């Protein structure tokens, strides 16, 4: 089975960092064509810095990292330093990146890659606001049909919102972009808070990262130690929800997840519910299904996979 070609679109973010590390630790199954950064958890300059720091942590300064959009399509940028710290990658003490950004804009890299690779062979893995993806689809309407699948972290139904009572952060930041993606006709799998809030970094799971003893294992333990304080205080949960690595894990082991093929639409008109993913989980409308909306994950299997793979780096 050839490795699956993917582009990770990301706003690191400690959880994005772990998702990138999991992909880099799985070269037999994942051919990471490139990383595209977007403004989200922190401004673009920092997400672009952080993505390169993670590649260098993994010993992969060869990975092409392209900077993308620095603001949402229509709204001012909302960031999440309150969760991720002022750098977006607080926790470990990692060196500033030495590798340069790749030349060119992330949106053009996405367009060129989709046109250059055989149709239906490239999977997009957005881990942040969908601004780059939507901009690529708007700039080059031909490329959406060439996407194999979009596996994105975003949205919520039963878990409702984490940045507002109604909306999950990635969708909230750029709801117009999310609306464009949901209407693109692509094969879409959504990894919502309903799943990621079941992927908690408990103390024993964090201890397992640290017990790897490697720079990667220790850094991941430090990242999740930092990242978890917000969610534990807010939800009283047993640990931080490890949102974005669920996307990479789905690419590697979809059998760990379950969900339904349903209609999902994005609220873009109401300030009160901006960015809400209106998921027809119970099939109460006649709206056509447009996404596989995941609802559950086998968490022990997820963390076993993650820890085993991180040990390789």
Residues interacting with ligand RIB, by CB under 6 A?
11, 13, 15-16, 40-41, 127-128, 153, 162, 168-170, 243-244
How far is the CA of 140 from the CAs of 74, 110, 185, 255, 312, in angstroms? 19, 10, 14, 33, 38
Query: Cα–Cα–Cα angle for 61, 83, 207, nearest 5°?
Result: 70
* Residue 168 interacting entry, from Ca ion, ligand RIB, none, C-beta within 5 to 8 Å by type: ligand RIB
CB of 258 to Ca ion, least distance (A): 23
CB of 67 to ligand RIB, least distance (A): 17
| DSSP calls for 39-63 | SSSS-HHHHHHHHHHHHHHTT-TTS
Radius of gyration of the chain (CA): 18
Q: Tell me the C-alpha distance between 205 and 302, whole Å.
A: 11
Annotated active-site residue 82? The verdict is no
* Residue 225 interacting entry, from ligand RIB, Ca ion, none, C-beta within 5 to 8 Å by type: none
CB closer to ligand RIB, 37 vs 206: 37
CB of 115 to ligand RIB, least distance (A): 27
CB closer to Ca ion, 68 vs 262: 68
All residues at 6 or more sequence positions from 185 whose CB lies less than 8 Å from its CB, including other chains: 144, 145
CB of 171 to ligand RIB, least distance (A): 8
CB closer to Ca ion, 130 vs 276: 130
CB closer to ligand RIB, 41 vs 277: 41
* Residue 135 interacting entry, from ligand RIB, Ca ion, none, C-beta within 5 to 8 Å by type: none
Structure tokens at 210: 């640290």
* Residue 239 interacting entry, from ligand RIB, Ca ion, none, C-beta within 5 to 8 Å by type: none
CB closer to Ca ion, 92 vs 128: 128
CB of 27 to ligand RIB, least distance (A): 23
CB of 8 to ligand RIB, least distance (A): 11
Query: Cα–Cα–Cα angle for 244, 77, 291, nearest 5°?
Result: 45
CA atoms within 13 A of residue 176's CA, in its CB half-sphere: 12
**16 is a site residue for Ca ion (CB under 5 A):** yes
**149 is a site residue for Ca ion (CB under 5 A):** no
Contact 238, 188 (CB under 8 A): no
Would you give the binding string for Ca ion spanning residues 112-141, x where CB under 5 A is met? ---------------xx-------------
Of 84, 105, 197, 243, catalytic: 243
Q: Tell me the C-alpha distance between 83 and 227, whole Å.
A: 6
Q: Tell me the C-alpha distance between 156 and 145, whole Å.
A: 26
**9 is a site residue for Ca ion (CB under 5 A):** no
**13 is a site residue for Ca ion (CB under 5 A):** yes
Residue with tokens 């060196």: 95
Query: Cα–Cα–Cα angle for 89, 80, 64, nearest 5°?
Result: 45
* Residue 113 interacting entry, from ligand RIB, Ca ion, none, C-beta within 5 to 8 Å by type: none
All residues at 6 or more sequence positions from 298 whose CB lies less than 8 Å from its CB, including other chains: 256, 257
CB closer to ligand RIB, 79 vs 113: 79
Residues annotated as part of the active site: 243
Binding site for Ca ion (CB under 5 A): 11, 13, 16, 127-128, 244
């Amino acid at each position: 089975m050839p490795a699956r070609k993917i582009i990770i679109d990301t706003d690191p973010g400690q959880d994005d960092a772990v998702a990138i590390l999991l992909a880099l630790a799985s070269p037999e199954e994942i051919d990471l064509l490139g990383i595209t950064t977007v403004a989200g958890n922190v401004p673009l300059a920092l997400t672009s810095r952080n993505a390169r720091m993670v590649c260098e942590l993994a010993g992969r300064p060869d990975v092409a990292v392209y900077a993308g959009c620095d603001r949402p399509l229509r709204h001012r940028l909302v960031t999440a330093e309150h969760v991720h710290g002022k750098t977006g990658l607080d926790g470990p003490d990692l060196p500033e990146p030495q590798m340069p950004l790749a030349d060119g804009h992330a949106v053009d890299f996405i367009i060129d890659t989709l046109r250059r690779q055989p149709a239906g062979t490239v999977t997009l893995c957005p881990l942040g606001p969908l601004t780059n993806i939507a901009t690529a689809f708007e700039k080059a309407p031909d490329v959406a049909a060439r996407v194999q699948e979009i596996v994105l972290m975003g949205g919520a139904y039963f878990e409702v919102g984490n940045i507002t009572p109604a909306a999950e952060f990635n969708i909230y930041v750029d709801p117009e972009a999310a609306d464009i993606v949901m209407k693109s006709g692509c094969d879409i799998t959504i990894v919502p808070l309903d799943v990621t809030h079941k992927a908690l970094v408990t103390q024993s799971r964090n201890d397992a990262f640290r017990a790897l003893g490697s720079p990667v294992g220790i850094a991941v333990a430090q990242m999740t130690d930092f990242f978890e304080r917000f969610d534990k205080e807010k939800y009283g949960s047993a640990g931080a929800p490890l949102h974005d690595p669920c996307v990479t894990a789905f690419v590697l082991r979809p059998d760990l997840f379950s969900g339904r093929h349903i209609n999902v639409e994005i609220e873009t008109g109401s300030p009160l519910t901006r960015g809400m993913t209106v998921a027809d989980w119970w099939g109460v409308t006649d709206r056509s299904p447009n996404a596989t909306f995941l609802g559950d994950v086998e968490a022990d299997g997820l963390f076993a996979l993650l820890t085993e793979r991180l040990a390789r780096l």
